[in-house]
Amino acid sequence: MRDVPAYRAVGLSGDDLADPLAALSRFPLVDKTDVRDRLADFCSDDIDPDRCRFGTTSGTTGVPLKVIHDLEYIASEYAAALRRNRESGLPDRRRILVPMKTVPLPWTEYESPAKGYSLVAEFGTGAFEDDPAELLERVRRFDPDVIYGHPSDCVVLAQAVRAADGGVDADAGVTPKLVATFGEYMSAGVREYLESTFTTARVVDYYAMYEFGNIAVQCLHGVYHVEEKVYVEAVGSDGLPVAPGISGEIVVTGLTNDVMPLIRYRTGDLGAVKDITCRCGKQGQAITDLVGRGSGVVSFADGTRVRLSGVTRILRRYPLLRFQIARESESAFTVRIQPAPDFEDDMLPGMRTLLSRELAGCSVAVRAVGPAEFLPDSRRKTVDYLDLREAH
For Zn ion, the closer CB: 223 or 306: 223
Measured over the CA atoms of residue 199, residue 209, residue 243 and residue 280, the dihedral's sign is: positive
Site for Zn ion in 281-300 (CB under 5 A): 282
Residue 150: name the closest of 114, 118, 194 by CA: 194
> Nearest distance from residue 158's CB to Zn ion, in Å?
25
Residue 290: name the closest of 236, 238, 247 by CA: 247
Surface-to-core class of residue 50, CB atoms within 10 Å of its CB (0-12 exposed, 13-18 middle, 19+ buried): exposed
Site string for Zn ion, 110-139 (x = CB under 5 A): ------------------------------
For Zn ion, the closer CB: 119 or 278: 278
Amino acid identity of residue 198, one-letter, is: F
Q: Which stretch binds Zn ion (CB under 5 A): 72-80, 276-284, 343-351, 354-362?
A: 276-284
Buried/exposed 24-47: b ≥16 CB within 10 Å, e otherwise: beebebbebbbbbeebeebbbeeb
Residue 276 near Zn ion by CB under 5 A: no
Among 179, 194, 219, 250, binds Zn ion (CB under 5 A): 219
Count of CA atoms in the C-beta half-sphere (13 A) of 231:
11
Residue 280 near Zn ion by CB under 5 A: yes
For Zn ion, the closer CB: 89 or 113: 89
Residue 223 near Zn ion by CB under 5 A: yes
Among 74, 278, 348, 388, binds Zn ion (CB under 5 A): 278
Q: Which stretch binds Zn ion (CB under 5 A): 102-110, 129-137, 270-278, 375-383?
A: 270-278
For Zn ion, how many residues bind (rule: CB under 5 A)?
A: 6
Residue 260 near Zn ion by CB under 5 A: no
Continuous segment of H or E residues that includes residue 325? strand 320-329
For Zn ion, the closer CB: 278 or 347: 278
**Binding positions for Zn ion, rule: CB under 5 A:** 219, 221, 223, 278, 280, 282
